[in-house]
């Protein structure tokens, strides 16, 4: 196996660049960073980004904005390369003019953050840091401004794509107003990293104090599921078949629900008639991070992605039901082929250890061990998920 394919690449890792953190400090309403005096006059900063942020927000510190801290974290966990993205809620809460200016500045800042950072010791042509940029996706932004940001990102050599939330320009990602943006992103070959922020209606969480648990464990993945399903149902992937969409948190619940989705579509002719393929086909066109924390979940997601090959036929020309010879294709082969669309991630700097700052982060160890223990993945598949797949997807090396 070539040494480069053994590199560990973190595709899901965040930061608030200094310019963004300053903006959060200047705000009186969520999202904001608030500083409070603690013992002995020391100041503690806390991050409030969720509307119903429980427990007075989360402690926030240098690991959110300092490049050295990111590199130290990478070294501690044996991570060679990180693809850094701004954490939620991006620019969602700003006016069009503010979002436009800040997207432009933050994309340049992120390019600088990556390009002036170190290279890999054994591969001087590979940097340790790359990035996903930002678009000013807010209501009332002009299409031209969005297209300018796509062009800006595509010209910045260390930005390999862009992160986006689920709101689009206010009407979600199934909004036809976004068609020119999908077209431009597809043409530029940029990867879109789709990430949640809003969760689902917090009325579903009841009255008990469950901290962030329900929102992060269930609300976040379900938000991603809804957003990408709406894209599928509105035909985005039929119109832009080369669009490369990476889903946070292993696609939320889409893998688990995709056959149910296909069945519901089949029973709704108006929806079925506007799609070129069975719903399960589209999962084979998507990319999934491996931030799922367990080997069974990773194996399952790769099964479902691999199975998409059975639905390659165009629904309007062929039966959507899988051909029996393909059904007999070995499950192991499908699992292995599904793993090629999966990528290690950490979600740093979220989910830190609560006690010592010295130890390895359990959340990272869990995700690495899950890859190690994923049933049916060959050593080559595992090396791919740890890093080789990301290097290939992002054309690094």
Question: Which residues make Cβ contacts (< 8 Å) with residue 135, sequence separation at least 6?
Answer: 103, 146, 149, 150, 153, 162, 164, 181
Q: Does 290 bind ligand URA (CB under 6 A)?
A: no
Nearest to 254 by CA among 278, 282, 277, 274: 282
The binder of ligand URA chosen from 88, 107, 258, 367 (CB under 6 A): 88
Report angle CA 188, 193, 196 to the nearest 5 degrees.
145
Residue of closest CB approach to ligand URA: 350
Helix (H), strand (E) at residue 195 = none
Nearest approach, Cβ of residue 166 and ligand URA (Å) = 13
Nearest approach, Cβ of residue 306 and Zn ion (Å) = 25
Which entry of ligand URA, Zn ion, none binds 341, CB below 5 to 8 A by partner kind? none
Question: Which residues make Cβ contacts (< 8 Å) with residue 241, sequence separation at least 6?
Answer: 285
Which entry of Zn ion, ligand URA, none binds 49, CB below 5 to 8 A by partner kind? ligand URA
Q: Are 251 and 303 in contact (CB under 8 A)?
A: no
Cα–Cα dist 323/367, whole Å: 35
Q: Does 13 bind ligand URA (CB under 6 A)?
A: no
Nearest approach, Cβ of residue 87 and ligand URA (Å) = 6
Identify which of residues 111 and 347 has a Cβ nearer to ligand URA in the complex: 347
Nearest approach, Cβ of residue 49 and ligand URA (Å) = 6
Identify which of residues 92 and 347 has a Cβ nearer to Zn ion in the complex: 347
Q: Does 87 bind ligand URA (CB under 6 A)?
A: yes
Q: Does 347 bind ligand URA (CB under 6 A)?
A: yes
SS3 state at 7: coil
Q: Does 216 bind ligand URA (CB under 6 A)?
A: yes
Question: Which residues make Cβ contacts (< 8 Å) with residue 174, sequence separation at least 6?
Answer: 230, 231, 233, 234, 236
Which entry of Zn ion, ligand URA, none binds 100, CB below 5 to 8 A by partner kind? none
Which entry of ligand URA, Zn ion, none binds 234, CB below 5 to 8 A by partner kind? none
Nearest approach, Cβ of residue 77 and ligand URA (Å) = 17
Q: Are 311 and 281 in contact (CB under 8 A)?
A: yes
Q: Treating both helix axes as pointing N-terminal to C-terminal, what angle do 96-115 and 18-25 enclose, rounded to 10 degrees?
A: 140
Report angle CA 170, 53, 24 to the nearest 5 degrees.
70
Nearest approach, Cβ of residue 216 and ligand URA (Å) = 5
The binder of ligand URA chosen from 193, 350, 361, 377 (CB under 6 A): 350
Cα–Cα dist 129/85, whole Å: 11
Q: Are 221 and 252 in contact (CB under 8 A)?
A: yes
Q: Are 302 and 339 in contact (CB under 8 A)?
A: yes
How many chain residues interact with ligand URA (CB under 6 A)?
Answer: 7
Q: Does 257 bind ligand URA (CB under 6 A)?
A: no
Q: Does 85 bind ligand URA (CB under 6 A)?
A: no
Q: Which residues bind Zn ion (CB under 5 A)?
A: 347
The binder of ligand URA chosen from 24, 49, 228, 261 (CB under 6 A): 49
Which residues would be at the binding site for ligand URA (CB under 6 A)? 14, 49, 87-88, 216, 347, 350
């Amino acid at each position: 196996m070539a040494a480069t394919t053994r590199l560990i690449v973190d595709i899901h890792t965040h930061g608030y660049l200094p310019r963004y953190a300053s903006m959060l400090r200047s705000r009186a309403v969520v999202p904001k960073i608030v500083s409070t005096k603690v013992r002995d006059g020391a100041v503690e900063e806390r991050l409030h980004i969720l509307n119903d942020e429980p427990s007075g927000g989360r402690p926030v510190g240098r690991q959110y904005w300092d490049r050295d801290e990111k590199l130290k974290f990478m070294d501690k966990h044996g991570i060679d390369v990180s693809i850094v993205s701004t954490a939620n809620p991006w620019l969602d809460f700003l006016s069009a003019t503010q979002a436009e200016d800040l997207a432009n500045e933050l994309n340049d800042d992120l390019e600088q953050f990556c390009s002036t950072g170190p290279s890999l010791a054994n591969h001087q042509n590979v940097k340790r840091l790359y990035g996903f940029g930002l678009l000013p996706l807010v209501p009332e932004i002009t299409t031209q401004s969005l297209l300018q940001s796509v062009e800006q990102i595509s010209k910045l050599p260390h930005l390999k794509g862009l992160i986006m939330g689920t709101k689009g320009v206010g009407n979600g990602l199934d909004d036809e107003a976004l068609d020119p943006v999908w077209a431009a992103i597809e043409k530029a070959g940029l990867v879109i990293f789709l990430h949640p922020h809003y969760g689902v209606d917090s009325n579903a969480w009841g009255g008990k104090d469950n901290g962030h648990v329900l929102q992060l464990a269930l609300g976040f993945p379900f938000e991603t599921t809804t957003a990408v399903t709406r894209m599928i149902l509105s035909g985005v992937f039929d119109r832009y078949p080369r669009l490369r969409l990476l889903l946070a948190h292993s696609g939320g619940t889409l893998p688990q629900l995709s056959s149910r989705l296909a069945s519901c579509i089949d029973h709704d002719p108006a929806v079925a008639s506007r799609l070129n393929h069975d719903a399960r086909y589209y999962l084979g066109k998507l990319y999934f991070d491996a931030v799922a924390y367990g080997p069974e979940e990773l194996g399952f997601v790769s099964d479902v992605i691999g199975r998409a090959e059975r639905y390659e036929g165009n629904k309007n020309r062929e039966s959507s039901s899988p051909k029996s010879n393909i059904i007999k294709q070995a499950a192991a082969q499908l699992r292995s082929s599904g793993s090629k669309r999966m990528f290690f991630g950490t979600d740093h700097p979220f989910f830190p250890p609560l006690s010592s700052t010295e130890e390895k982060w359990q959340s990272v160890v869990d995700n690495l061990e899950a890859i190690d223990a994923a049933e049916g993945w060959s050593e080559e598949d595992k090396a791919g998920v740890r890093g080789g797949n990301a290097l290939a997807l992002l054309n690094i090396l």
